[in-house]
Structure 1
Amino acid sequence: MTVNLLDYDLEGLTLYCERLGEKRFRATQLFRWIHQRGASKFDDMTDLARSLREKLSASAQVKPLDILSQHISSDGTIKWLFDVGNGDAVEAVFIPEKDRGTLCISSQAGCAVGCRFCSTGHQGFSRNLRAGEIISQLWFAEHFLRSHLKQCDRVISNVVMMGMGEPLQNYSELVPALRVMLDDHGYGLSRRRVTVSTSGVVPMMDRLALDCPVALAVSLHAPNDELRSNLVPLNRKYPIEELLAACNRYLAHAPRDFITFEYCMLDGVNDQVEHANQLVSLIRQHASGRVWCKFNLIPFNPFPASGLLRSPIEQVNVFAKILSDAGIVTTVRKTRGDDIDAACGQLAGDVQDRTRVQSRIARQRTIMLTPIPPTAKPNLEK
């Protein structure tokens, strides 16, 4: 059976090469060709022995996801739609800023959590992505952007697992993908610059702290269990006190000394002064005399099925000031990619019944906005 080498972290690729009768250092060479240089054809890997290239051609491939469409926003944000087969598609979004380039990656086709304010959740859940399908989004985006921006240096400095899906419900495939991102022979990203966002899968938070501690963002969205259970159904299984205790445990292993709490601002629902004061009280109860978290207030991106509205900016500012005055580091997220539905919570595109996804993909194939040039293969070493 032909294997896809994008599914392997360096340890897995080393074991594969050993099964072929090759020395361990060949795996490192191969890993660099795939991830640092963006090579997908074994004949292009010129410093590998011909005998190894022949073995690889007979039993393996480097097969990235097919691209269905690419949309470029007026603010420079780029959204890609990837075909993952059987009528399913996932999206990744690149967000350029002066001091960094951030790629938002999907971990599942759809999402089973069903948060009220997230259009992706209203799409429904189809399946988990394999490790190679997760890393393929980074593989394509990095090497496309080098060609698109005409540079050989690394373009993507930050990766956030905040696309479609709940990453910690796809744990066994998430961790190998994270290890490829962090590996110096792969993308060489710092643990501080790779963030996993979770709605609060407490047991997997504890496992991630031990297996592959990266930066952690937690979708909080409410200061009490009654409201959070209404907005984030997973709260019924892992209530706020349990979640915050897990956050404190995670800090002992985290590359940063704080957890980021994401808080989607919903008009008249969770954005009142009383909610801000409840949050201050909640955070202080778990502070133990230290600054241990920061808040990222997220403007809601309305969609018809939600029945929710975006909080007025004046109310957001009042809310943020209460948190800041209490000594809690608070930022208001700037919306990006609104014109291409790439903003937070919009990664499902048009919300549709699962039976109609195939027709959506067929339609996407016909509206490619920007031709995608061949993947760049600069001669780049870490």
Structure 2
Amino acid sequence: MKNLLDFSYEELVNEITRLGLERYRVDQILDWVYDKKVNDFDEMTNLSKKHRALLKEYFAISFLKLLDKRVSKIDGTTKFLWELEDGNTIESVMLFHPDRITACISTQVGCPVGCVFCATGMSGFVRNLSTGEIVAQILSMEKEERKKIGNVVYMGMGEPLLNYENTVKSIRILNHKKMGNIGIRRITVSTVGIPEKIVQLAEEDLDVKLALSLHAPTNFKRDQLVPLNRKYSIEEILNALKIYQRKTGKRVTIEYVLIRGVNDEISDAKKLAEILKNLKVFVNLIPVNPTTETMKKPSRQRLLAFKRILLENGIEAEIRKEKGSDIEAACGQLRIKRKFSMP
């Protein structure tokens, strides 16, 4: 049985009309699924019983099974642990801002990159998510919370550009007016830097935002924090960003997790400003969310000093405001906790 959430609009039109239903039925079905959050054909009352029975034989509408949910008492940040049909688990997060709701979604079960400060990497890599499993995170959160998500960041579990085809297809589905209906400029893809895929993304004619998880200004330090850097050097990644910017004209967000005594020195800030000087960037400075006892956040004074160096060198920067700190909102933490607490 096919998961309806795996299909683009055009693919679904072909499938539905091939079954003998009129083309306009596609819009009716999508209204039930994407607007009303209905995943049972029997509830689609503007379809005949005959059509409903036929669709049930051919399609499943696979929303996700909720295993756990944590809500921050500080800022309302809500973290979800979902079970997939094969028993694997993934996480998603809803973040609440005065003017918008943002969803942070996953693209893989686990992650092959293995960043040392990331809880997801500690659990290893299992598999890529299907297009439908990526899309289902948005629908399942909206159904659970009865709220409309307006912004999406592909910053959850996994490396989106290592699940490239499914990531791009899910973006098109979430952006489509008769499906997710989320503005393309409200979608951000975060990557640790896969040069050839960054260049490929520039050719997709998708006006998404791009974020690069850099975390160190030199290959020596980045090799220790982001093992994939041994395959793709900072120089290769920044060169891909230049190509991306020439093609798209878009500013890139640089994500930089600061760890006390590791990558938060003034010399690191100066070097970071130097390597970014020929790019149009905004630097998000993120105090580390400790996953081990030896990993500590820099002092507030050090954070401000780091930011000041970047600003003095013409690099826009801000310290990210923490959200969900009381519910371990960083991706992977809830999944690991459940995994190792189960008998």
**One fold, TM greater than 0.5?**
yes
Equivalent of residue 347 in structure 1, options 332, 339, 343: 332
- Quote the residue 1:53 is aligned against: 52
Higher relative contact order (CA 8 A, sep 6+): 1
- Quote the residue 1:90 is aligned against: 90
Q: Is the 8 A contact 2:108 2:163 kept in 1?
A: yes
- Quote the residue 1:36 is aligned against: 35
* 1:12-23 pair list within 5 angstroms: 12-23=11-22
- Quote the residue 2:316 is aligned against: 329
Letter matched to residue 302 of structure 1: P
- Quote the residue 1:194 is aligned against: 187
Q: Is the 8 A contact 2:89 2:335 kept in 1?
A: no
> Could you tell me how far apart the structure 1 residues matched to 2:329 and 2:72 are?
9
> Could you tell me how far apart the structure 2 residues matched to 1:12 and 1:311 are?
50
Please identify runs of 4+ aligned residues in structure 1 that moved more than 6 A: none
- Quote the residue 2:290 is aligned against: 302
Deviation at 1:213, TM superposition (A): 4.3
SS at match of 2:333: coil
SS at match of 1:21: coil
- Quote the residue 1:380 is aligned against: none
Query: Normalising to structure 1: TM-score of the pair?
Result: 0.84
Q: Is the 8 A contact 1:70 1:80 kept in 2?
A: yes
- Quote the residue 2:176 is aligned against: 183
Letter matched to residue 100 of structure 1: R
- Quote the residue 1:133 is aligned against: 133
- Quote the residue 2:64 is aligned against: 65
> Could you tell me how far apart the structure 2 residues matched to 1:225 and 1:88 are?
34
- Mind listing any 5+ residue stretches in structure 1 that lack a counterpart? 147-153, 364-382
- Quote the residue 1:227 is aligned against: 221
* 1:160-309 pair list within 5 angstroms: 160-211=153-204, 212-254=206-248, 257-284=250-277, 286-287=278-279, 292-304=280-292, 307-309=294-296
- Mind listing any 5+ residue stretches in structure 2 that lack a counterpart? none
Deviation at 1:117, TM superposition (A): 1.2
> Could you tell me how far apart the structure 1 residues matched to 2:296 and 2:196 are?
33
Equivalent of residue 312 in structure 1, options 283, 299, 308: 299
> Could you tell me how far apart the structure 2 residues matched to 1:348 and 1:109 are?
13
SS at match of 2:153: strand
Deviation at 1:194, TM superposition (A): 0.5
SS at match of 1:243: helix
RMSD over aligned CA atoms reads 1.9
Q: Is the 8 A contact 2:68 2:82 kept in 1?
A: yes
Q: How many percent identity over aligned positions?
A: 39
- Quote the residue 1:370 is aligned against: none
Letter matched to residue 311 of structure 1: P
> Could you tell me how far apart the structure 1 residues matched to 2:258 and 2:126 are?
28
Q: Is the 8 A contact 1:123 1:348 kept in 2?
A: no
Deviation at 1:252, TM superposition (A): 4.1
Cα deviation digits, residues 98-124 of structure 1 (max 9, x gap):
011111101111111001111111111
Structure 2 residue 9 is matched with structure 1 residue 10: yes
SS at match of 1:144: helix
Cα deviation digits, residues 130-157 of structure 1 (max 9, x gap):
11111111001122222xxxxxxx6311
Query: Normalising to structure 2: TM-score of the pair?
Result: 0.93
Cα deviation digits, residues 157-192 of structure 1 (max 9, x gap):
111011111111111221221111101111211221
> Could you tell me how far apart the structure 2 residues matched to 1:26 and 1:263 are?
47
SS at match of 1:304: coil
> Could you tell me how far apart the structure 2 residues matched to 1:340 and 1:231 are?
24
**Larger deviation, residues 3-12 vs 75-84:** 3-12
SS at match of 2:84: strand
Deviation at 1:77, TM superposition (A): 0.7
Deviation at 1:85, TM superposition (A): 4.5
- Quote the residue 1:367 is aligned against: none
Q: Is the 8 A contact 2:90 2:335 kept in 1?
A: no
**Larger deviation, residues 136-145 vs 313-322:** 136-145
Q: Is the 8 A contact 1:110 1:348 kept in 2?
A: no
Letter matched to residue 332 of structure 2: L
SS at match of 2:314: coil
Deviation at 1:49, TM superposition (A): 4.1
Letter matched to residue 77 of structure 1: T
> Could you tell me how far apart the structure 2 residues matched to 1:163 and 1:77 are?
14
Letter matched to residue 264 of structure 2: D
Letter matched to residue 239 of structure 2: A
Flag the 1:13–1:252 CA change in 2: closer, same or farther, 3 A: farther
> Could you tell me how far apart the structure 2 residues matched to 1:230 and 1:159 are?
30
**Larger deviation, residues 74-83 vs 206-215:** 206-215
Cα deviation digits, residues 168-222 of structure 1 (max 9, x gap):
1111221221111101111211221111110111112222222344111100111
Deviation at 1:88, TM superposition (A): 2.2
